[in-house]
Amino acid sequence: MILNPRRCAGSGGSASGRPAAGARARTLLNVHNTRYAPSGMVCSVDHLASAAGLSMLERGGSAADAAIAANAVLSVVAPHMCGLGGDLFALVHDGGVSALNASGRAGSGADPVRLRAEGHRRMPHLHDVRSVPVPGCVDGWAALHQRHGRLPMADLLAPAIRLADGGFPASPLMVAGALNAARRPGGSDFAGVRAAGDRVTRPGVARALRAVAERGRDGFYLGEFGQGLIGLGAGEYTEADLATPGADWVEPLKTRAYGHDVWSMPPNSQGYLLLMSLAIADGLDLPASPHHPAWAHLLAEAARVAGHDRLDLLHEGAKDLLDRDEIARRRALIDPRSRLRLRTPAEQGDTTYLCAVDGDGMGVSLIQSNASGFGSMVFEPRTGINLHNRGIGFSLKPGHPAEYGPGRRPPHTLTPALITRRDGTLRAVAGTMGGDAQPQILLQVITRLLRHGEQPGPALAAPRWRLGTGGTGFDTWEAPDDAVLDLEEGGSWADGLGALGHRVAALPSGSSFGHAHVIDVRPDGMLAGAADPRSLVGSAIGR
């Protein structure tokens, strides 16, 4: 069944702005540019951020330095996607693969009983500080810099500080949410934003970045920002919550797919969904052409059988999510001739991704997020930093392993990816924004890259599908059999998918289908990268 076109809801890590209108979007997505560079590359959603990262590579910095510098700029110029008030995950290839979890924990005052007594069945989506775990971004920078940095932190943050003080042009995707942000207490930085290119200054963010440059993570968490957060929380957080570093180096997950090892984050990230979907798809008889409806059908079914029980399985302590026998069992459920009825009882971005590779072969796949657009739409009052709402991943069901509670990390949609060859050398770094859809988007991009041999530019510009709900973008798995296949305009799958039993909806091209970026490392060491054209101002640049 083909549904009428409908406006996308936020897909957190989702629709960080309105989808680009038809003709304009089609023009953008026809840009298949793959950039090449011999000794270093940075891809991000904003050209100012990519330029800052590249400048660190040119000064002898590592890929980690470039990633921190680019992310710091994004924390200033892309508050509708990420920032100092959000969380961070990263994968690093430096001979081996390591994983950094810098997602924040709920404060000591987290009280699920109180929320349930107020009538909440799920965590508040907006305007409630209880959905704001302690932001992990700055702790992530500190940990990444300590292990892999070469340049002083002050140098890495200098471009971001200059932009926050002197001003930067509002991006087209910021404008959509800036008016609402400006109406919230603490959101005055965005009061003058009316159109793309308007100058924006963020003096409070500049002060916070200077505090990090001068005093490290304590300058942020125990300084002006931290004290403002404690006051705003009114008991949700203690100074001890903020004094404890919140970033951990953890063991990454990996799976074998398309002749490569694909790596992602362990729980509390949903990275296992990407890896399970790829492992399932690797054993399916995919058509030779991605234009065939069966290609979209089989990949979408792989994503559905991988994720239908995510709400039950994903929590910080989840183990053994990539069991080979279970992957085979789920693969066997897929019917190439029709959509599967799961019959599973259901319980009741924004995000930005960037990647960097340096001349020594270090690769960094970094994803950083507010969750929904400007996040919770709660602003720390002293610095004006908007706070994420990653706490929406918690459950309010008593006894659930992901129940909201003191010191706990919520289930997370953030899903960075890193790919290595059989000999362990770096093949690619990849990631996207997109809320629940992040594994689905990467499943398509990585399949195009590895299975079909596409270059990064065409692989990113190609039309996409996603499992849609018309809701927040974080509710896909509440009723997995009700999900519609949202199809981006320009695709060739609609009629064939309808015949296979899918309900499909045509949507305009745009950021609701993610902002993915890829750097592919060729066997001779040449770098081939691309930034997603849906980001409008994204940039892949190298040296």
Please write the tens of the pLDDT for every residue from 43-83.
999 999 999 999 999 999 999 999 999 999 999 999 999 99
Is 53 a domain residue? yes
Under the banding of pLDDT at 50, 70 and 90, the label for residue 345 is very low
Q: How sure is the predictor about 343, in pLDDT bands with cuts at 50, 70 and 90?
A: low
Give me the amino acid identity at 382: R
Instruction: Specify the amino acid at residue 153.
Output: M
pLDDT band of residue 470 (cuts 50, 70, 90) is low
Output 10 or 513, whichever has higher pLDDT: 513
State which H helix or E strand residue 528 sits in: strand 527-531
pLDDT at 502: 96
Q: What pLDDT sits at residue 96? A: 97
- What is the domain extent for residue 221? 45-249+362-393
Question: How far apart, in whole angstroms, are the C-alpha atoms of residue 63 and residue 37?
Answer: 14
In a domain, 509, yes or no: no
Please identify which residue in the block is written with the tokens 């960075």.
Answer: 416
In a domain, 160, yes or no: yes
Residues 137/282, Cβ–Cβ less than 8 Å = no
465, 493 contact by CB (below 8 A)? yes
Find out whether 355 and 431 touch, Cβ atoms under 8 Å. Answer: yes
pLDDT at position 480: 84
pLDDT tens digits, one per residue of 357-416 = 999 999 999 999 999 889 999 999 999 999 999 999 999 999 999 999 999 999 999 999
Q: Kindly tell me if the per-residue pLDDT of 9 is higher than 70.
A: no
Whether residue 24 is contained in a domain is answered as no
Domain count, the chain: 1
Q: What is the pLDDT of residues 197-212, one digit of tens each?
A: 999 999 999 999 999 9
**Quick one: DSSP state of residue 434?**
-
Cβ neighbours of residue 38 under 8 Å, at least 6 residues apart? 525, 526, 527, 542, 543
pLDDT in tens, 109-154: 999 999 999 999 999 999 999 999 999 999 999 999 999 999 999 9
Q: In the prediction, which pLDDT does 536 show?
A: 87
Asked, for residue 521, whether it belongs to a domain, the answer is no
pLDDT-derived band at 342 (thresholds 50, 70, 90) equals: confident
Q: Is residue 370 included in any domain, yes or no?
A: yes
Q: How far apart are CA 434 and CA 352, in angstroms?
A: 9
Catalytic residue among 351, 352, 413, 472: 351
Share of the chain above pLDDT 70, in %: 92
The answer to whether residue 472 scores a pLDDT higher than 90 is: no
| Residue at 506 is within a domain | no
pLDDT at 471: 72
Would you call 415 a catalytic residue per the annotation? no
Q: In whole angstroms, give the CA distance from residue 359 to residue 63.
A: 8
